Chain A
Amino acid sequence: MTVNSATTTPTLPGTGTVRLAAESVSLAYDDRVVVRDLDLELTDGSFTAVVGPNGCGKSTLLRALGRLLRPVSGQVLLDGRAIARTPTREVARVLGLLPQTPVAPEGLTVGDLVARGRHPHQSWLRQWSRDDEAAVAEALTWTDMADLADRPVDELSGGQRQRAWISMALAQGTDLLLLDEPTTYLDLSHQIDVLELVARLHAERGRTVVVVLHDLNLAARYAQRLVAMDDGALVASGTPAEVLTEQLLADVFDLEARIVPDPVAGTPMVVPVRRLR
């Protein structure tokens, strides 16, 4: 079902408990309002993809959900508590985020990068506990990066680099994971590789995942729920089949398109016809 205004708060499936919620959140950079009065609830164990045209505010929303941007009005709740008033460190133990195209300092090895994911669990005295070591070793193995642990991150290919960052987020050991366009600049097979990894994090490790994605077909295939945004507002939320309609593509993306079932996964697949207007 398509929700055409932000008046109803869409609840996403999962075990039911709301982990992360935006309550009539408005977001702005200086004076430019990017997101207006948006409500969203993300339940435990859900896998949500946020889609929308360039500049619709989806990355901005993700930054607010991750406490990187303070709303000008409204609030973000993490486990029922205002995230703005929760210490950064506490947030970082529950919620991990991967910015768009993160940059690793030159010379940093994959192992060290992943080890930095343990920062919120460490203190000045306790810099490398057995838990840290186990978490990092497991994250490296799980993402298939163990053999590359001694390689500098800047020498890796784009796909490997993204795996390294996901490995860091995994080592951070958070229940929630926010990813901002993790497939940017990757070729199709590496896009699939990264999304398979994220899907496994969700399915096998029970992570609650929110991912901003540009590719609607990939979003429909991997996410349980799509949230569509346009011009700073939430315009649709539901299963991929509910959200990806020909009408929505026309309204939000100015795109005339046919929706056919994905021959592999059965999820809706967008076949573009032409740009409207």
Chain B
Amino acid sequence: MTTTERVGRPGGTVVRVGPVSGRVRWRQVAVPLGAAVAVVLLSAVSLGRGDFPIGLTDVLRALVGLGEQTQRFIVLELRAPRIAVGALVGLALGVAGALFQTSARNPLASPDVLGITQGASVGAVAAIVLGGTASGIGVPLAALLGALGTGLLLLLLAWRAGIDGYRLVLVGIALWAVAAALVDWLLTRAEIYDAASAYVWITGSLNARTWSEAVPLLVALAVLLPAALACSRVLGVVQFGDDTARGLGVRLVPTQAVVVLVAVGLTAAAVAAAGPIAYVALVVPQVAIRLTGGSRPPLLASGLLGAALVVGADLLTRTVLPQALPVGVLTAAVGAPYLLWLLVRGRRRSTL
């Protein structure tokens, strides 16, 4: 039995199906839906565009395994995995940023600022520079370990009978500085070719991504995304102060630990696949919160907007721009001004 009724307050449409009940606001449905449509459209365009343009019908034929072999190869083996990695990375970073920002109650708390992506860079650059040749298997694993290690260190150092958001940001910035120094040191002593390939990696790039990067990322997301969404309801209470949240029956310490660990895991998986694509995790949740009009970054909308941003930025770098730029350059160049515009235009302060 389904009942849907419109109530004046507190806002939203009430949905009740048997024992299941909830409230739905149209903007919180429309924004992720719109973002999902954008991801699909951008991916479809992206599959056909590039140095070797392929028409829509040929793309569709290639997708179902028909058509010329060259076209099949380009669509299925070159472009599809690249787009899939881009979408999944954007999804993971958007959700990770929203989790960090909500649990720390601070919009600065994103994996970029907290040193986690920088930690991944340390791992990857060390693997490239010290390991000699940049093998495709060693670097992602090193980046993953670098990100996870930094994330756990962050959690340990910021932990004082729970997580204080301000302390988390300060500890994170300190870790970021240490990791940045390590990366610089590794780069100065690297061979020039290694340094060049390390440099592309730390900008965040989707170049030459294959299914071997997309599949592990998909597996990580299949585990971590449901975990993140399961935390969504409790995060609405966690974003109050500690005392209020505990007064409302939240087991704050385990909740915050789980949320931060899931966010670290999502970041590490994303960064291992595509490098630290800049500012997606910082900017996208703040854009999402302004589009949906709630009081905290919505998880699903942040993820899907992140996916749209990365896929769109990748499409632009491959087609419109004269040089094939790493996608991370463009996400920073597009995402940051858009947030600035929203900040200037809106009456919201920059705080959560």
Contact = CB atoms under 8 A, between A and B. Distances in A.
B47 to A, nearest CB: 37
The B interface, classified by DSSP as helix, strand, loop or mixed, is: loop
B173 to A, nearest CB: 23
Nearest to B290: A107
A87 to B, nearest CB: 8
A104 B249 CA distance: 17
Given A63-B243, A93-B249, A119-B249, A133 B7 contact: yes
Nearest to A123: B233
A111 B20 contact: no
A122 B251 CA distance: 14
B164 to A, nearest CB: 14
A108 B352 CA distance: 10
Contacts of B234: 119
A106 B349 contact: yes
A97 B293 CA distance: 28
Given A103-B241, A116-B240, A128-B14, A108 B295 contact: yes
A172 B248 contact: yes
B246 A128 contact: no
Contact of B8 (A126, A149, A172): A149
Interface string A104-137: 1111111110111101101011111110110011
B296 A116 contact: no
A117 B250 CA distance: 12
Contacts of B296: 105
B32 to A, nearest CB: 17
Nearest to A111: B10
B251 A88 contact: yes
Interface string A47-90: 00000000000000001001110000000000000000000111
Contacts of B22: 127-128
A32 B239 CA distance: 29
A249 interface: no
Contacts of A40: none
Given A111-B11, A119-B248, A128-B21, 12 more contacts: A66-B247, A89-B249, A89-B251, A92-B247, A102-B244, A105-B295, A105-B352, A106-B348, A114-B10, A117-B248, A128-B22, A133-B7
Interface of B: 7-11, 14, 16, 19-23, 105, 230, 233-234, 236-237, 239-241, 243-244, 246-251, 289, 293-296, 348-349, 351-352
